[in-house]
Amino acid sequence: MDKRRSLVEAASLVEDGATVAIGGLSMNGAPMALVREIVRRRARDLTVVAIVAGMPVDWLVAGGCVSKVVSGLISFEGLGLAPHFRAAVQRGEVEVEEYSEHTLICRLQAAAYGLPFMPTKAGLGTDMISMHPDTTRHEQDPSTGEHYIACTPLPVDVALVHAHSADSQGNIRVDPKLIWMDNEIVNAATTTVASVEEVLPHRDFVAEPHRTTYPRFMVDAVAVAPYGAYPTANFPRYSYHAQFFADYVQATRDPSAWAEFWQTRVVGPAEQGDLLDANGGPNTLIDIAREA
Amino acid sequence: MIQDKRASLAEAASLVQDGDVVALQNMATQLAPMAVVRELIRQGRLNLGIVGLLAGIPVDWMAAAGVMDRFIGGAVTMEQFGLCNRYRKGVEAGAIRVEELSETAVNARLGAGARNLPFLPTRGLIGTELIGMDPDNLRLIEDPFGGRPVVACRALVPDVAIVHAHRADRAGNVQLEPTAEWPDLGIMPKAANRVIVTVEEIVETEVLRRRPDRTVLPGFVVDAVVEVPFGAHPTSCFPFYGYDSAMHLAWVAAARDDVTTEQFLDRYIREPADQAEYLRAVGGATTMLALERMEHA
């Protein structure tokens, strides 16, 4: 079965009101090309699950797509806070359900294993448990007396991940296997949509089966998007584009500057090549490759 | 300062005390830490409790040599070569106690040990009699959120985990070549109090750094690392070498009778002084080359 789709088709698998989990970690490996298409098609009322993310969540919030964020941390790390996410939360427009990264992973694992809960000791002694009585509960093991937190499953409608390569059937390689925590969201999700740097012949996947990170039966759609994690990094090929992050943060300080930035450098460009050209073209590609 | 974890087989095996619970990596005919198993037999360990996901010839040898008195795990079989008849005999005679679990329950019990949890839940086992057979370790519990009940699998913390892999550095960082990765390697060492690793070769750390994604165990969980070429023989260590069919068949034949069993243990386990002598006893370079070509596999 040929699972190749255009970015527009792949992004359309995310329906309004869906729970969408975003792959990558902070400045690394986010499925930005897919996120951009979701923003461009003006998706609404999404619940976004991100263990640790920055730019993809900020784009979705800036585009008015998000009603709730379930996460461990949303930031641009050394380059600042995620400005639209922060502003929307302060205005009360976006609800935040905050967990530790580990608690969030336990909730995703419970969903992946079909269990009513996953126990963990991480989070004991914090106020996180009382903030979420419906999803995290302090329990005591009757036979040993040990304390733990029971974490309910977090079902995900669509996982969005970016990877290095795929074949036409949807076998996916993260290569080398720096998969961050993407496997946790893929395992928990009903539907998985991946963007990849390139499509390789199926025989390459058969020749080296150990390099397959997600087998095709876990993957529903694959879209080719060279530099599809831009402006986040996709090691070992390219680093994150620090200048984009800096310009982005700067533009948010002034409404008219922001409107122009958003139009010309994020949502306006039609294709992936247009996006890269709008952000420095070949010079940028050379810079982020050198940084990697 | 990197701690040098290199040890001899004898030193590594001395981390196992009489009566210990020992988790052994092994998937039937594949990738068992056989050199340490033979050393434990040579040193005359007693009353070991062996944990295995799906164990084969190492458990049959340990049962034959009388070093174990209990097994906790999913299955003991040599697959196409037959049942492990010395283990079977020990169980039938009451010399070996069996705590039988599904493979999922083994992983859940070790996984709870690895995560320092009192238990891990599983949906597996529901509707089977395994739960009632092991009430100390398996218990049907209510979901605190009001959903369906699950089986709580009590944490299992082995005293020692023993695994074999392709390479390590002297700090005990362990790499596996691309091969079928069974879950025991990822869970047993993290659950156990002490960890022994045998490897085909000990290399400079620089070699591991060329492919960091192949490192499966970090050095801080490892207590002793021993270089033992063909250390998994007669089980396989793909893609370096296949399992030794002739050796498995010779064992199956010998194990039918008490006298030939003892002769086999003497010849292949008790008498060879080191790995080179063992490899000479099992056919030397001719056997090693054939196993590398995987003619028997």
Tell whether B184 is covered by a domain. Answer: yes
Do B194 and B234 share a structural domain?
yes
Do B271 and B195 share a structural domain?
yes
Task: Give the distance from residue A139's alpha carbon to the nearest chain B alpha carbon, in angstroms.
Answer: 8
Is A65 in a helix, a strand, or coil? coil
The domain that holds B248 is classified in CATH as 3.40.1080.10
8 Å CB contact between B280 and B271:
no
Q: Which residues of A touch B143 (CB under 8 A)?
A: 116-117
Going along A152-188, which residue ranges are E strands? 156-166, 172-173
Do B73 and B201 share a structural domain?
yes
- B135: closest chain A residue by CA: A143
Do B119 and B21 share a structural domain?
no
pLDDT of residue B148: 87
Per the structure, the complete domain to which residue B131 belongs is given by 104-154
Q: Which CATH superfamily is domain A4-99+155-287 in?
A: Glutaconate Coenzyme A-transferase (3.40.1080.10)
Tell which of B154, B177, B192 closes a domain: B154
pLDDT of residue A177 exceeding 70, the answer is no
Choose, out of A124, A210, A211, the residue to mutate when testing the contact with B (most B CBs < 10 Å).
A210
Model confidence band, residue B297 (pLDDT cutoffs 50, 70, 90): very low
Closest among B133, B57, B142 to B101, alpha carbons compared: B133
Q: Domain residue spans in chain A?
A: 4-99+155-287, 117-152
- B179: closest chain A residue by CA: A210
The predicted-structure confidence for A4-19, as pLDDT tens digits, reads as follows 999 999 999 999 999 9
Q: Does B154 touch chain A (CB under 8 A)?
A: yes
Tell whether B47 is covered by a domain. Answer: yes
- Residue appearing with tokens 């897919």: A34
The predicted-structure confidence for B50-87, as pLDDT tens digits, reads as follows 999 999 999 999 999 999 999 999 999 999 999 999 99
Which of B115, B119, B213 is the closest to A176 by Cβ?
B213
Is there a contact between B119 and A139 if contact means CB atoms under 8 Å apart? no
Number of domains comprising chain B: 2
Is there a contact between A150 and B145 if contact means CB atoms under 8 Å apart? yes
Do B24 and B89 share a structural domain?
yes
pLDDT of residue B295 exceeding 70, the answer is no
- A211: closest chain B residue by CA: B178
Is B43 in a helix, a strand, or coil? coil
Q: Does A106 touch chain B (CB under 8 A)?
A: no
Q: The whole model's pTM is what? A: 0.91
Tell whether B238 is covered by a domain. Answer: yes
- Residue appearing with tokens 């619970």: B21
Q: Does A121 touch chain B (CB under 8 A)?
A: yes
Do B206 and B128 share a structural domain?
no
Q: Does A124 touch chain B (CB under 8 A)?
A: no
Tell whether B3 is covered by a domain. Answer: no
Alpha helices in chain B (DSSP H): 9-13, 34-42, 57-65, 85-92, 103-114, 130-133, 183-191, 205-210, 245-254, 258-265, 275-281, 284-293
Helix or strand run (H / E) with residue A185: helix A182-188
H helices, E strands: number in chain A: 12, 11
Do B196 and B126 share a structural domain?
no
Q: What are the residues whose beta carbons fall under 8 Å from the beta carbon of A243, sequence distance 6 or more?
A: A280, A284, A287
pLDDT of residue B1 exceeding 80, the answer is no
Cα separation, B82 vs B84, whole angstroms: 7
Choose, out of A141, A146, A206, the residue to mutate when testing the contact with B (most B CBs < 10 Å).
A141
pLDDT of residue B177 exceeding 80, the answer is yes
Do B264 and B119 share a structural domain?
no
pLDDT of residue B121 exceeding 70, the answer is yes
Q: Does B123 touch chain A (CB under 8 A)?
A: yes
Model confidence band, residue A169 (pLDDT cutoffs 50, 70, 90): very high
Is there a contact between A210 and B178 if contact means CB atoms under 8 Å apart? yes
Is there a contact between B212 and A176 if contact means CB atoms under 8 Å apart? yes
Do B169 and B56 share a structural domain?
yes
| Count of pairs with CB atoms under 8 A, one residue in A, one in B | 58
Model confidence band, residue B164 (pLDDT cutoffs 50, 70, 90): very high
Cα separation, A33 vs A191, whole angstroms: 18
Structure tokens at A117: 């809960």
Q: What is the mean pLDDT of residues A172-192?
A: 89
Helix or strand run (H / E) with residue A110: helix A101-113
Model confidence band, residue A210 (pLDDT cutoffs 50, 70, 90): confident
Tell whether B2 is covered by a domain. Answer: no
Tell whether B80 is covered by a domain. Answer: yes
Structure tokens at B241: 């070498």
Cα separation, B73 vs B242, whole angstroms: 24
pLDDT of residue A258 exceeding 60, the answer is yes
Tell whether B65 is covered by a domain. Answer: yes
Interface predicted TM-score of the whole assembly (ipTM), two decimals:
0.84
Tell which of B154, B170, B195 closes a domain: B154
Q: What is the mean pLDDT of residues A139-164?
A: 95
8 Å CB contact between B142 and B129:
no
Which of B116, B145, B152 is the closest to A137 by Cβ?
B145
Cα separation, B105 vs B156, whole angstroms: 10
